[in-house]
Amino acid sequence: MRFKPRRSSPRLHSFGYQGSYAYHLILNTRAGLTRFEDGRLVATCRECLAASASQCGFEVVAYCFMPDHVHLLVAGGQDASLGRFVQHFKQATGHRHPGLWQRSYYDHILRREEDLEDVARYIWANPVRAGMVEDVLTYPYSGPREAMAAYEDSGSRAEDREDLEDRASAKGGPASGGKALSLHSLQLRSAGSSSASLEGP
């Protein structure tokens, strides 16, 4: 089943955004500026992302820095707080690069039946859908690279944009020995679906 982000679902006001859940996040640059065309800026943001995830109890399953926004797929531990993680990441990157982020951000809470690998592949395929590259693996600002290597080994590499988009959510796991990306393997709790703009720092 092809993954498509839902932008119109109401926010779960009773949901605490804390615990063993997975989230697809989209953070936009302020005023839509194409800040992530600068490889050095992306490199520092990657460092901050890894540090924030470690500090706040999250695993970064997939990411893709597009010119004016970033997609993140993250999975939290038992006591992980989404708000704390995003605030930590935005403050750390904003300290190095003032005025980087738009204040709010989009979130989608993955439900139990949604497959992390499908969402990861959707994220990695963004540069192909945008016509920036013809192959997921040639885009330099996506990762983690070891997970993308498993993606390549699984035989899901496409020859053209249309084929890649069709395959982005195709059934099939990583190659033998690759990193499993299923919700069940990360022992995430079941949640409803939400997509909303939350307030950042």
* Residue-wise pLDDT tens digits, 30-63: 999 999 999 999 999 999 999 999 999 999 999 9
Neighbours of 14 (CB within 10 A): 6
Whether 14 maps to a domain, the answer reads: no
Q: What is the per-residue pLDDT for 182?
A: 47
Whether 123 maps to a domain, the answer reads: yes
Q: What is the per-residue pLDDT for 162?
A: 44
Whether 33 maps to a domain, the answer reads: yes
Could you identify the residue written with the tokens 């993140």?
A: 72
Q: What is the per-residue pLDDT for 13?
A: 58
Whether 154 maps to a domain, the answer reads: yes
- Burial class from Cβ neighbours inside 10 Å (0-12, 13-18, 19+) for residue 116 reads buried
Whether 31 maps to a domain, the answer reads: yes
The CATH number covering residue 189 comes to 3.30.70.1290
pTM of model > 0.85: no
- Burial class from Cβ neighbours inside 10 Å (0-12, 13-18, 19+) for residue 184 reads exposed
Whether 50 maps to a domain, the answer reads: yes
pLDDT digits (tens, 9 = 90+) for 54-93: 999 999 999 999 999 999 999 999 999 999 999 999 999 9
Beta strands in the chain (DSSP E): 22-28, 58-66, 69-76, 104-109, 142-143, 195-199
pLDDT digits (tens, 9 = 90+) for 100-157: 999 999 999 998 767 888 999 999 999 999 999 999 999 999 999 988 888 666 654 4
What is the extent of the structural domain holding 118? Answer: 22-199
Does position 166 have pLDDT exceeding 60, yes or no?
Answer: no
Q: What is the per-residue pLDDT for 153?
A: 65
Q: Contact at 8 Å (CB) between 154 and 167?
A: no
Whether 35 maps to a domain, the answer reads: yes
Q: How many domains does the chain have?
A: 1
Whether 40 maps to a domain, the answer reads: yes
